[in-house]
Amino acid sequence: MQKVVQLDDVSFNRFHFKIAGLTFGAHLTDGYVLGVIGFALAQIKPQMGLTPFWEGMLGSSALIGLFIGSLALGWVADYLGRQKIFCFSFLVISVASALQFFAHTPEQLFLLRVVIGIGLGGDFSVGHTMLAEFSPRKHRGVILGSFSVLWTIGYVAASFAGHFMTALGPEGWRWLLASSALPAVIILLLRIGTPESPRWLMRKGRSVQALAIVHRYFGPHVTLQAEMPSARQHSLLTLFTPRYRKRTAFNSLFFVCLVIPWFAIYTFLPSILQSMGLDKNFATDLLLSALLIVGALLGIVLTVFCSRRGFLIGSFLFLAACLVALSLLPTSMALWQIVCFAAFTLIMSAVSNLVGVFPAESFPTEVRSMGVGFATSMSRLGSAIGTLLLPLAIMHYGTATTMGLLAVILIIGALVSLAWAPETKGLTLVDASDTATNPRKKPVHQATSSF
């Protein structure tokens, strides 16, 4: 007779690989969607006569949609189930991506990219949630963090596609933006038939269905750690009750402080490099792309060997130091500027792995999608504001001062993490969400010490 095993402790199998692949495919699409707009804007700007305002609005449009989708669809997923949003989100992305080809005004393109962002935001909420709820704790950090590698590959693919498609002619931007529909449709078709999260079913009192899914995909000897049934319907205000408000604040603020510099800098990378006296060409793109991918892979290694908390705090401080150096170095010291920018790119890509880990491990099943969605929505709102304001900041204050302001945001992230970041490494989802309530408490199951 086989020994009974908890879902948290099962071996990694083909189903884990499939659900991870479907989630990672979504992040590849997300990276691609957010990456192509920078290249498309170079052609759209003269054709549509874009003002700096509309250039910023189009650059931040998908991020605005991500804010709305993460907030709204995360709540819906906790209410109706993960699987429905898991498929619906990519139906929305597929249709809106294809329609970008026919946009003729900034307003039309803005609305379509907001809709794409809504779909991506919903997927961020349920993708991380489903992956966390199916994954064994031994591999959860690596699996959740690995999405950053695929996001980076999507972002890098956007760079190569941008160079190729914008060279096709003045209408190349249409093919470039609409090309995101291809991976979206593939992912949508592959997601059909994905099972519901057994943890969500257990919370809804549907334990027979939950165990049937567990037995089908993991074997009859596998059981599920107790999830107390709850008929209560939670609202977003639940995230601000005494039980959840600290973890809500931490996950939202650290996420915001990481992604504002990321999206602000990389959306307008050509303008920033030009103001630093550096050229952005294919060779530069190739170097930055390699650094992003190497950084994402480095992040997986650091997630395995470092404490979650120590990795996050150390990265915030290092990234802030890089931007301070960039703000102080004169343009005559181009080599040192390149070194600082390369180091910033490498570590930013590495620590971005944690944005898929902390939110999913911090909230219990009953509000996990909503919590992940809220943190994601706040990060995208911050990113949208940063992306919108960056061209204006560079124009009025210069690159050096703007880099200094972004460094201040990273220091705030370090302080927030010092105060509130929990250590969730090596815990079950139930234990991890309990530990998130008291980040200073050292868990019994934890093998590594907090920072």
Q: Quick check: 135 pLDDT over 70?
A: yes
Q: Is the pLDDT of residue 94 over 90?
A: yes
The pTM of the full predicted model, rounded to 2 decimals, is 0.71
The tens digit of pLDDT for each residue in 191-223 reads 888 899 888 888 888 888 988 998 999 888 888
CA–CA distance from 337 to each of 194, 277, 328, 332, 396 (Å)?
47, 10, 10, 9, 22
Which CATH number fits the domain that encloses residue 239?
1.20.1250.20
For the four alpha carbons of 128, 376, 361 and 122, in that order, the dihedral sign comes to: negative
Domain housing 121: 5-437
In a domain, 418, yes or no: yes
Note whether residue 447 is domain-resident. no
Statement: residue 176 has pLDDT above 90: yes
Which of 133-137, 292-296, 407-411, 440-444 comes out lowest in average pLDDT? Answer: 440-444
Segment 373-389 mean pLDDT = 77
Q: Given this model, what pLDDT does residue 226 score?
A: 59
Q: Is residue 443 part of a domain?
A: no
> What confidence tens digit (pLDDT) does each residue in 337-360 have?
778 888 888 898 888 888 878 887
Tell me the pLDDT of the chain averaged across its residues: 81
Rounded CA-CA distance 27/328 in Å is 35
CB 263 within 8 A of CB 387: yes
In a domain, 103, yes or no: yes
CB 59 within 8 A of CB 109: no
Q: Of how many residues is the chain composed?
A: 451
DSSP state of 307: -
Q: Which residue has the higher pLDDT, 451 or 157?
A: 157
332 phi/psi in degrees, rounded to 5 = -70, -20
The answer as to whether 442 is a domain residue is: no
Q: What is the mean pLDDT of residues 75-83?
A: 82
Instruction: Count CB neighbours of 240 within 10 A.
Output: 13
The per-residue pLDDT for 201 is 87
What amino acid occupies position 178? A
Q: In this model, does residue 445 exceed pLDDT 50?
A: no
* Structure confidence at residue 429 (pLDDT): 60
- Sequential DSSP letters for 358-405: HHHHHS-GGGHHHHHHHHHHHHHHHHHHHHHHHHHHHHHH-HHHHHHH
- List the structure tokens of 341: 């920018």
Asked whether residue 383 is domain-assigned, the answer is: yes
- pLDDT of 224-278, one tens digit each? 765 555 555 567 788 888 888 898 999 989 988 988 887 666 655 655 565 555 5
For range 414-443, the mean pLDDT: 69
Instruction: Look at residue 138 in the predicted model and tell me its pLDDT.
Output: 78
Residue 16 lies in a domain: yes
pLDDT at 444: 41
CA 8 → CA 131, 280, 358, 390, 427, distances in Å? 12, 46, 17, 43, 9
**Count of CA atoms in the C-beta half-sphere (13 A) of 111:** 7
Mean pLDDT of 310-315: 93
Domain assignment of residue 432, yes or no? yes
CA gap 106, 446 in Å, rounded? 52
Share of the chain above pLDDT 90, in %: 18
Total count of domains within the chain:
1
The pLDDT-based confidence of 92 (bands split at 50, 70, 90) is very high
More confident residue, 49 or 230: 49
